[in-house]
Amino acid sequence: MRRLAFLLRPGWLILAAVVAGFAYMCFTVLAPWQLGKNDATSERNQLIEDSVDAAPVAVTDLLDGDREAATEWRKVYAEGSYVPDSTVLVRLRHLDGAPAYGVLSAFTLTDGRMLLVDRGLVAAVDGSQPPPIEPAPTGTQRVEARVRVSENIDPERAPAVQNGIPHVYSIDVPQETTVLGLPLTPVPVGERGAYLQLADDQPGAFTPVPLPQLDSGPYLSYGLQWLAFGIMAPLGLGYFAWAEIRERRKSRVSAPPEPAAPESEPVTKEARLADRYGRTPR
């Protein structure tokens, strides 16, 4: 055990604590974070793939409690009419790499319930100003769309009104309910509900928001890397401890032996007497 006593020195104890903390973070925080993002992305991609060839269902079926069919990206159709003067613009959007605005409107179903509809994107004027927005068509319409989950709102970016049109920074059904002052009904998907995102060539649609790339991204490899780092860190600490033990062992083997102390000559009786009485021994 004396060979391992150096491991109790402060430097080694601090290093061991750092390595243990790093490994713990790798296994409990960093790797699960990346693997969780990979699972979420894979699930999203699967939902999009399933919706491509699926026939649209009536949005009223989802509103009336068909939880199995109520998933994000599901194709639906809705019959009703746009609510006049219910336009809301969404800031900080992009269209073909340039600044753009999203256009939202309320849509009243034939049964009286109102939904939030994302009509698509319009390019900004002079890089920052919204263009004139063409009003939604009047009369009864049948629109096809995809179900999209409400986005998270930023409490530091409050809605504002510009030229009589409300501006927001996220598409969120509860927030737009307050902004428009209308009883919008969220589609029962996600914690904050969902809205409808119009498909191409639909009444009242602008440039549709493109579908995400069906790519899982690097999250799986990142998660595996964090797991590998969590394993390698303790192994590295063990290697350094073994190397220290080996060097100490070599130092003990190669060190020259200490010279032996000279043996003292036996003290005679005459020498003891001479020392006591100050005489010179014969």
**pLDDT tens sequence across 3-26:** 667 777 888 788 889 989 999 999
Question: Which of these three, 167, 198, 229, is where a domain ends?
Answer: 198
First to last CA, the chain: 57
Q: What is the pLDDT of residue 113?
A: 96
Task: Please tell me whether residues 78 and 167 are part of one structural domain.
Answer: yes
Task: Please tell me whether residues 33 and 69 are part of one structural domain.
Answer: no
Task: Please tell me whether residues 169 and 144 are part of one structural domain.
Answer: yes
The bridge status of strand 57-58 relative to strand 75-82 is parallel
- Give the CA-trace dihedral at 136, 141, 144, 146, to 10 degrees: 50
Q: Which long-range contacts (CB under 8 A, 24 or more apart) does 188-194 make?
A: 188/62, 188/63, 188/65, 188/67, 188/70, 189/62, 189/70, 189/71, 189/72, 189/147, 189/149, 190/72, 190/149, 190/150, 192/149, 192/150, 193/149, 193/150, 194/72, 194/147, 194/148, 194/149, 194/150
- Strand-pairing partners, residue 160, are 167
Task: Please tell me whether residues 98 and 185 are part of one structural domain.
Answer: yes
d(CA 226, CA 175): 38
Residue 282, domain member (yes or no) = no
The bridge status of strand 57-58 relative to strand 165-168 is unpaired
Question: Which of these three, 198, 230, 252, is where a domain ends?
Answer: 198
In degrees and rounded to multiples of 5, residue 143 shows phi and psi of -120, 145
Determine the structural domain holding residue 116 and report its residue range: 56-198
Task: Please tell me whether residues 225 and 191 are part of one structural domain.
Answer: no
Task: Please tell me whether residues 152 and 114 are part of one structural domain.
Answer: yes
In terms of Cα–Cα distance, which of 55, 53, 202 is closest to 117? 202
Over the stretch 152-199, which tens digit does the pLDDT of each residue have? 888 889 999 998 899 999 999 999 999 999 999 999 988 889 999 998
d(CA 206, CA 24): 50
Task: Please tell me whether residues 23 and 103 are part of one structural domain.
Answer: no
Task: Please tell me whether residues 177 and 77 are part of one structural domain.
Answer: yes
Runs of H (alpha helix) within the chain:
10-25, 31-52, 59-63, 173-180, 219-254, 269-277
Q: What is the pLDDT of residue 38?
A: 80
Q: Tell me how many domains the chain contains.
A: 2
Annotate 88-110 with DSSP letters as a single string: EEEEEEEETTEEEEEEEEEEEET
Neighbouring residues of 83: CB distance < 8 A, sequence distance ≥ 6: 105, 106, 107, 108, 114, 182
CA 214 to chain centre: 18
- Tell me if 171 sits within 8 A of 148, measured CB to CB: yes
In terms of Cα–Cα distance, which of 273, 116, 143, 141 is closest to 198? 143
Q: What is the pLDDT of residue 190?
A: 83
- Both tokens assigned to 261: 């102390």
Low-confidence ranges of the chain (pLDDT < 70): 1-4, 44-53, 66-70, 212-215, 254-282
Task: Please tell me whether residues 63 and 188 are part of one structural domain.
Answer: yes
Task: Please tell me whether residues 125 and 91 are part of one structural domain.
Answer: yes
Tracing tokens 């009336």 back to the chain, one arrives at 64
